[in-house]
Amino acid sequence: MIMPASDLVNLSGLLDDAKCFALVRQLRWPDGARCPGCGRDAVIRDGCDDTQPHRQRYRCKACAGRFDDLTGTALAGRHQPLRVWVLCLYFMGLNLSNRQIALELGLNPSDVQATTEQLHQGLVAMAPDMALAGEVEIDEVYVVAGHKGQPAAVAKRGGSGVGAGWKARRDAARRRRTNRPSSA
């Protein structure tokens, strides 16, 4: 029997939290932070998260919205540290299955599936739209609750409903963006 590599090396423990947040910032904002509420770049730094010192908070001067590095991304509201999900992204790039990723990272396979479905749509599939970000967080709670409460019902749906819902919302967000008078 082959041991999971995680039994030998705790890879996520070797990653640097500051670099993981820097990576997310680079992926979502290659040209600098933008407000997920109004899409403008008139953004100032506003301290860091109380429990995650490398998670930068921001304030938008245009709409007074507040957000941070993970607001509106598929990685917001997760219980595990960001470095675990950075490794998940890396394993996705290697085409590991959700089951393999869960095994390597010591995660619940249904958590991994929910997250990878979102990440396949992109790190920030539905930005910029603050209202939508709120909707998404509610959805995450629902998905987790669904898996815990009624595993059979969730399995029957095959999880595809979750992905389809995301896609529909993303498309709706795109339409809204397209209809918005161009200010860029």
Q: List residues binding Zn ion (CB under 5 A).
A: 35, 37-38, 60, 62-63, 65
DSSP assignment, residue 68? E
Between CA 41 and CA 125 the distance in angstroms is 19
What is the nearest approach in angstroms of Zn ion to the Cβ of residue 34?
8
Is the CB of 117 or the CB of 129 nearer to Zn ion?
A: 129
- Cβ-based neighbours of 23, under 8 Å, separated by 6 or more: 86
Closer of 35 and 102 to Zn ion (Cβ): 35
Nearer to Zn ion, 40 or 170 (CB): 40
Contact 105, 15 (CB under 8 A): no
Question: What span, in angstroms and rounded, lies between the C-alpha atoms of 75 and 92?
Answer: 14
Long-range pairs, 77-82, Cβ under 8 A, ≥24: 77/137, 77/140, 78/115, 80/105, 80/107, 81/12, 81/17, 81/52, 82/17, 82/20, 82/21, 82/24, 82/52, 82/55
Least separation in angstroms between CB 23 and Zn ion = 24
Q: How far is the CB of 67 from Zn ion (least distance, A)?
A: 8
- What's the min distance (Å) between Cβ of 43 and Zn ion? 8
Length of the chain: 184
* Shortest separation between residue 35's beta carbon and Zn ion, angstroms: 3
Task: Tell me whether residue 76 or residue 103 sits nearer to Zn ion (CB atom).
Answer: 76
- Which tokens belong to 76? 């917001």
Q: Residue 38 or residue 144: which is nearer to Zn ion going by CB?
A: 38
